[in-house]
Amino acid sequence: MGRTTLTGLLAGCGIALLAAGTAAAQATDPPNATGACTASATVTGGETIDPYASSGVYEIPLSGTASYAGAVGDGQDRPERDFNGKVVIKTPPGVPDIELTDEWTWNGPGTGASKAGDVDWDLPSVMPRGVPFRVEGFHQDNPERCEGYVNVKIEGGLFDSPLAPAALGGTALAGLGVGLAGIRRGEAA
């Protein structure tokens, strides 16, 4: 096997391994939240998700419930003012972000500076299991702006989702294509 062929195949394998290993690398992310807010959710039967403590990776069930709490500053009521915010599950480009509930989008005017409650979800069965994805949120409140994210993964193994084999096949084909692209073509006589 020629040096160029070996280099091309190693590049293709490297891309495939990088795609598979990207999710694991995110597990070491430090906390990622800014602003004078607090925000957390405790998954029923699970752990507490807090972007000010860690960005994850937190494990959640495909269907479940959680109790949440959030506050701006000390959480005490303020004079009436405009505010807004949103929490979404980020999806790949071209796919709309997922909003689990209307309560995850809010706006004022109002006097409150804190909120607590319960949320439940039932994610589509095609969501990949064991693969981290990002949940982002922000709250804009005069004069504060708070924002952050956590990485979560759905309980289960990679092959528990019906789309997992297709995704792995696509990654393998892309890696093979890169590997073959690195093979030097014979010169015409």
- Tens-place pLDDT, residues 140-169: 998 889 999 999 999 987 666 555 455 555
CATH classification of the domain holding 51: 2.60.40.3880
70 in a domain, yes or no? yes
Mapping DSSP onto H, E and C, the string for 19-45 reads: HHHHHHHHHHCCCCEECCEEEEEEECC
Check pLDDT > 70 for residue 116. Answer: yes
186 in a domain, yes or no? no
CB neighbours of residue 101 within 10 Å: 12
189 in a domain, yes or no? no
164 in a domain, yes or no? yes
108 in a domain, yes or no? yes
18 pLDDT band, cuts 50/70/90, is very low
Q: Which residue has the higher pLDDT, 119 or 91?
A: 119
187 in a domain, yes or no? no
Token pair in block for residue 98: 């997922």
**pLDDT > 70 fraction of the chain, expressed in percent and rounded:** 68
123 in a domain, yes or no? yes
φ/ψ (deg, to 5) at 58: -100, 145
Strand (E) or helix (H) holding 151: strand 144-154
Partners of 153 in the β-ladder: 59
Q: Which domain holds residue 29?
A: 3-181
Cα–Cα distances in Å, from 90 out to 39, 79, 100, 157?
Answer: 18, 33, 12, 20
Question: Model's pTM, two decimal places?
Answer: 0.66
188 in a domain, yes or no? no
Q: How many domains does the chain have?
A: 1
Letter string b/e over residues 46-79, b meaning 16 or more CB atoms within 10 A of that residue's CB: beebbbbebbbbbbbbbebebebebbbbebeebe
Least confident of 26-35, 45-54, 75-84, 142-151: 26-35
Residue 38: the pLDDT is 94
